Amino acid sequence: MMILRPIQKSDYPALLNIAHESGHGFTSLPVNEELLQNKIARSESSFLKEADIPFDEGYLFVLEDSETGEVVGTSAIEAAVGLDDAFYHYHLSKVIHSSRTLDVYKAVDILTLCNDYTGATELCTLFLKNGYRKGLNGKLLSKSRFMFIKQHQHRFAETVIAEMRGVSDEKGQSPFWQWLEEHFFSMDFPTADYLTGIGQKVFIAELMPKYPIYVNLLSEEAQAVIGQVHNNTRPAIELLKSEGFTFNGYVDIFDAGPTVEAKVSNIRTVQSVQTKRVRLGQPQSGSPVMVANDKLAGYRATIAELHVDATSDEIIVSADLANALNIVDGDSVSIATL
């Protein structure tokens, strides 16, 4: 059984292993012992913190194979981005160059540096190890965060975003960054990506072009990857699109990967969540659904085949499932269809 739960201090070796495996372009998990340990400590503190509004909390989850005890994936939620450090994007838009006298009308794409998503809740740090990219594991790792947001909605913003990993090669080279590097930076993509991951973002404000960039002045290779995702990220963005997330022209300033957004109330899983009271017993056969307890620091979520009666406020679960979710008879759980 796959169980999603908050990360613990003892998960550090597994997190370090995932940071190594995730590779270049996965900014939220830099290969840095101190920062990874700080991420774990910050997450543990966030789950224990009393909060009425979203602020600087970061909730980091791991996916554990209950049979082996192995941590096989991560996902996270940042309650509100950009409140401590500036949160940058490029916004892709158009300007019109026209002259009636010369009978010229031309629409030109431009990229403008902005901080438009300041205060938004961010979905991040989604990674699943190679051998486990099968079945419903990816859906559990990603979609269970929506159940958590639904249960604790006062802790999160109205707008939820997700930055998608952009195009880079096996050496970590980004065609978009190569153009920026040539004209504005003397720093390769892996270095810039790593510095951002460890929180050293001052160089962005100091060296990034302050005025809009005309897209047609970029190299053909750079233009081609604007708004495109890394091959490993395609399943993740398709899943988010199925949840109602849309791309509104915001791209990453390093690799030009797309950022997608949705209002919490428009997210499909949030809309479909049902709250049921647990009754221990022998469950009838049913379809796979996500099921999660309603705890905070003790949050647990998994996928189980359950019979969900829309007319009843009860759900029958087995003793094994109850133990896995750390619930007892009479507790409430959240159920969401897949």
Confidence class for position 199, pLDDT limits 50, 70, 90:
low
Residues 216 and 324 in one domain: no
CATH number at residue 215: 3.40.630.30
- Give the end of a domain, one of 215, 245, 269: 269
Q: How far apart are the C-alpha atoms of 321 and 276, rounded to whole Å?
A: 15
- The CB density around residue 156, as the number of other CB atoms within 10 Å, is 25
pLDDT digits (tens, 9 = 90+) for 17-66: 999 888 765 667 888 898 899 999 999 999 999 999 999 999 999 999 99
**How many structural domains is the chain composed of?**
2
Q: How far apart are the C-alpha atoms of 41 and 131, rounded to whole Å?
A: 28
Residues 156 and 220 in one domain: yes
- Give the end of a domain, one of 221, 244, 269: 269
Residues 303 and 173 in one domain: no
Over its C-alpha atoms, the chain yields an Rg (Å, rounded) of 22
pTM, rounded to two decimals:
0.91
Residues 265 and 281 in one domain: no
Helices (H) and strands (E) in the chain, counts: 10, 15
Range of the domain at 298: 273-337
CATH number at residue 329: 2.40.40.20
Confidence class for position 191, pLDDT limits 50, 70, 90:
confident
Residues 234 and 323 in one domain: no
Q: Enumerate residues 6+ apart whose C-beta is below 8 A from 234.
A: none
Residues 232 and 288 in one domain: no
Q: Would the pLDDT of 280 be above 60?
A: yes
> And the tokens for 84?
């401590």
Residues 185 and 319 in one domain: no
HEC string for 26-62? CCCCCCCHHHHHHHHHHHHHHHHCCCCCCCCCEEEEE
DSSP code, position 198: T
Confidence class for position 314, pLDDT limits 50, 70, 90:
very high
Asked whether residue 225 is assigned to any structural domain, the reply reads yes
Q: How far apart are the C-alpha atoms of 149 and 54, rounded to whole Å?
A: 11
pLDDT digits (tens, 9 = 90+) for 71-81: 999 999 999 99
Asked whether residue 235 is assigned to any structural domain, the reply reads yes
> And the tokens for 120?
């938004």
User: In 3D, which of 276, 268, 284 has the Cα closest to residue 335?
Assistant: 276
Confidence class for position 122, pLDDT limits 50, 70, 90:
very high
- Give the end of a domain, one of 252, 269, 286: 269
Q: Would the pLDDT of 188 be above 80?
A: no
Highest mean predicted confidence (pLDDT) among 16-30, 81-95, 182-196, 203-217: 81-95
Residues 264 and 282 in one domain: no
Q: Would the pLDDT of 90 be above 90?
A: yes
Asked whether residue 96 is assigned to any structural domain, the reply reads no
Residues 133 and 227 in one domain: yes
Asked whether residue 196 is assigned to any structural domain, the reply reads yes
Asked whether residue 97 is assigned to any structural domain, the reply reads no
Residues 69 and 216 in one domain: yes
Buried b (16+ CB within 10 A) or exposed e, 291-306: bbbbbbeebbbbbbeb
CA 230 to chain centre: 15
pLDDT digits (tens, 9 = 90+) for 226-278: 999 998 889 889 999 999 999 999 999 889 999 999 999 999 999 999 999 99
Catalytic sites, residue numbers: 230
Residues 34 and 170 in one domain: yes
Classified as helix, coil or strand, 165 is coil
Residues 221 and 76 in one domain: yes
Classified as helix, coil or strand, 212 is coil
